[in-house]
Amino acid sequence: MVKKIGINFAVLAFVLGLQSASAQVKLNANRGHSHNDYKQEIPLLTAYYAEMGSIEADVFLKDGQLYVAHEASEIKPGFTLKKIYLDPLAQFFKAKGNHPYSNAALKLQLVVDVKEDYKHVLPVLLKELESYAEVFDAKKNANAIKVVVSGDMPIPADFKDYDEKLFFDGRPTTTYTDAQLARVAMISDDLKNQTVWNGKGNPTKTDEAKMRATIEQAHRKGKPFRFWASQDSPNTWIVLERLGADWINTDQPTKLKDFYLHQDKLSYTNTKPYTTYTPTYKTDGQDKAPKHVILLIGDGMGLAAIHAGLIANHGDLNMTKFHYVGFSETAAADAGNTDSAAGGSAMAIGYKTNNRYIGMGPDDQNKTNLVDTLSLFGIKSGIITAGDLTDATPAVFYAHQMDRSYNGAIANDLLSSKAEVLVGSNRKAFEQNKNSRLLTDLKTKGFQVTNSLADFEKQHEGKQLVLLDDSATRSVIKGRGDMLKKSLSHTTQILSKNKPGFFIMAEGAQIDYGGHTNDLPYLITELHDFDRTIAEALRFADQDGETLVIVTADHETGGLTLLDGAAEKGMVRGEFSTNDHTGIMVPVFAYGPGSQNFTGVYPNNQIFHKIMKAYRLAKAK
């Protein structure tokens, strides 16, 4: 007899009152079917605490008792259906106020897969169920745990011979009378009857149409549908969901629960794509020195994040307009995985260094950063971030500290920096600094200190320190707006007046935040904000004709994997492998004169040297 590896997705009849069995609904963990549940390391409890809506137990009759096992030879003393499933479920039911779960909207069915001899098994099963009153009598109690018989079953004409508390697992090729159909809990089929699809990618269009037709046939009968013998992976779950399957099979109840529990953070749809900028390419790749360099760092931005942003913007990004692309190896000096301090420092000082170090080499010595190096040649610099000005990435361009957490000391280091314009939040690091004269001394040094983007835009020359309210750098989703783009635009206006040229580092800080929190909508909306800022840089480069634009990341965050996407809809689904950084390479995009120097694969500290090479300046000793 064929073993069902049922793909069980929520009984629309149970969960939604069967208002419309064919309607597409958002799936959740209660749509999961714990296949061969008795083989879990902790039978029943793993599936139950993952809030599976269906739990399967194979049974054999031996010595008058129903034992749970896949094969008769696997029967173990005491491992009975009553002890392992019926008794605990009855206790849970009573403890939850006569509901399967605390959330009364969640339903539960126990699928009893009879391995052989149903004629003798079913009477024993009914006898055991009698002692539980209405716990397992879904005919009398809508909140009860439904008992569904599968495997070796009576023919439909004999359903009437068994107590109505038992329901049956139907088949798409079987014809049922209305009375018989009333006893059918769901309709199931072996996936191999429909397709040779192995769960990877998608079925062929022909097979997909056949699968969809089978599911819709069940829905027209008012019954939820499941496939058995399917693969157990997120891609499989997604495809079956898209086709309309109601139950999905899994041997990983907890993983399935997490997958659906966090779908609000693992999927994103952008219905209104923004228009990208098309560069002129007039100066792209020219063999001459740029007067200006704009370095845009997408903190935590890996290739998967870029691709997610591309799909979500309906197949278009400003980043994809670059012709010169390379890859940066991000490992720190003391570890294969870098943080933003070491990753940013490598680009700022030209040395690989240790994690948490700000502008210092692995020898614990201060290293001259790009901003101060360029100042020796009269080039003025700006540092902009959509996060805290004392956070690692902006800090490495003006500070030197042993630990990125030393916010006060980092802020104080601005006194010795050659930076001309700085924009970001964490005002308190400057206003409540141990050096009570910090802001006074910075003003004496020539900085005009403002506290809003509007006030900054009124300034047209001189040194600028823009200490924004923390709310000004909240996430895009929470209303930050285009402060990064505007800050870059105004900074270029101020610094372009400097005849020898400028260098600007602008950071899309919160792509990283989205990766750390495993929040795809957060990540993509921040990446789109960063990409719009890239458009501003490209536009300036084309108008100016002497500007090199470089786009890269300090590292990748979150280990994002893309599982599904539709560019025509702006829809992306994915999952994350970590809440930390990963050690994979990140891309480097370059546009303008000298951009050809940024192709290939190289360590991240080489970005410093490539920028110096592009300027055609010798590094100061």
C-alpha 162/C-alpha 154 separation (Å) is 9
C-alpha 201/C-alpha 233 separation (Å) is 11
Q: What is the DSSP letter of 359?
A: S
The pLDDT-based confidence of 618 (bands split at 50, 70, 90) is low
The average pLDDT across 436-457 equals 98
Note the pLDDT of residue 262: 87
C-alpha 80/C-alpha 57 separation (Å) is 10
Summarised one tens digit per residue, pLDDT across range 460-518 is 999 999 999 999 999 999 999 999 999 999 999 999 999 999 999 999 999 999 999 99
Note the pLDDT of residue 261: 87
C-alpha 38/C-alpha 56 separation (Å) is 8
SS3 call for 252 = coil
Give, in order, the Cα–Cα distances in Å from 432 to each of 384, 429, 439: 21, 6, 10
- Model confidence at 2: pLDDT above 50: no
Note the pLDDT of residue 429: 98
Give, in order, the Cα–Cα distances in Å from 231 to each of 196, 244, 270: 11, 17, 30
Residues 6+ apart with CB under 8 A from 30: 10, 15, 51, 52, 53, 101, 106, 107
Specify the amino acid at residue 512: D
Summarised one tens digit per residue, pLDDT across range 219-243 is 999 999 999 999 999 999 999 999 9
Specify the amino acid at residue 251: D
How high is the mean pLDDT of the chain?
94
The pLDDT-based confidence of 133 (bands split at 50, 70, 90) is confident
- Model confidence at 552: pLDDT above 50: yes
- Model confidence at 554: pLDDT above 50: yes
Q: What is the 3-state secondary structure (H, E, C) of 53-98?
A: CEEEEEEEEECCEEEECCCHHHCCCCCEHHHHHHHHHHHHHHHCCC
The average pLDDT across 364-371 equals 98
The average pLDDT across 406-418 equals 98
The average pLDDT across 55-73 equals 96
CB 246 within 8 A of CB 222: no
Give, in order, the Cα–Cα distances in Å from 47 to each of 3, 69, 186, 513, 525: 20, 17, 20, 32, 35
pLDDT over 90 for what percent of the chain?
Answer: 92
Note the pLDDT of residue 422: 98
C-alpha 186/C-alpha 12 separation (Å) is 10
* β-pairing verdict for 267-269 and 571-576: antiparallel
- Model confidence at 530: pLDDT above 90: yes
- Model confidence at 11: pLDDT above 70: no
C-alpha 618/C-alpha 240 separation (Å) is 60
Which has more pLDDT, 17 or 50?
Answer: 50
Q: Is 287 exposed, middle or buried (0-12, 13-18, 19+ CB in 10 A)?
A: exposed
The average pLDDT across 109-124 equals 97
Q: Which structure tokens are listed for 1?
A: 């007899």
C-alpha 348/C-alpha 400 separation (Å) is 11
Summarised one tens digit per residue, pLDDT across range 162-171 is 999 999 999 9
Note the pLDDT of residue 29: 82
pTM of the model: 0.86
- Please provide the distance, in angstroms rounded to a whole number, between the alpha carbons at the two ends of the chain: 80
Which has more pLDDT, 579 or 26?
Answer: 579
Note the pLDDT of residue 27: 55
Q: For residue 392, count other CB atoms closer than 10 A to its CB.
A: 29
Which residue, 105, 123, 106, 127, is CA-closest to 114? Answer: 123
Specify the residue for token string 């956070």. 391
Task: Report the side by side order of strands in the sheet with 292-298.
Answer: 447-450, 463-467, 421-425, 380-388, 502-508, 292-298, 547-552, 586-591, 324-329, 600-603
C-alpha 396/C-alpha 341 separation (Å) is 7
Summarised one tens digit per residue, pLDDT across range 140-161 is 999 999 999 999 999 999 999 9
Q: Which structure tokens are listed for 130?
A: 């009698």
- Model confidence at 126: pLDDT above 70: yes
Summarised one tens digit per residue, pLDDT across range 17-34 is 333 333 333 457 899 999
CB 131 within 8 A of CB 122: no
Residues 6+ apart with CB under 8 A from 339: 332, 355, 356, 392, 404, 555, 581
- Model confidence at 13: pLDDT above 80: no
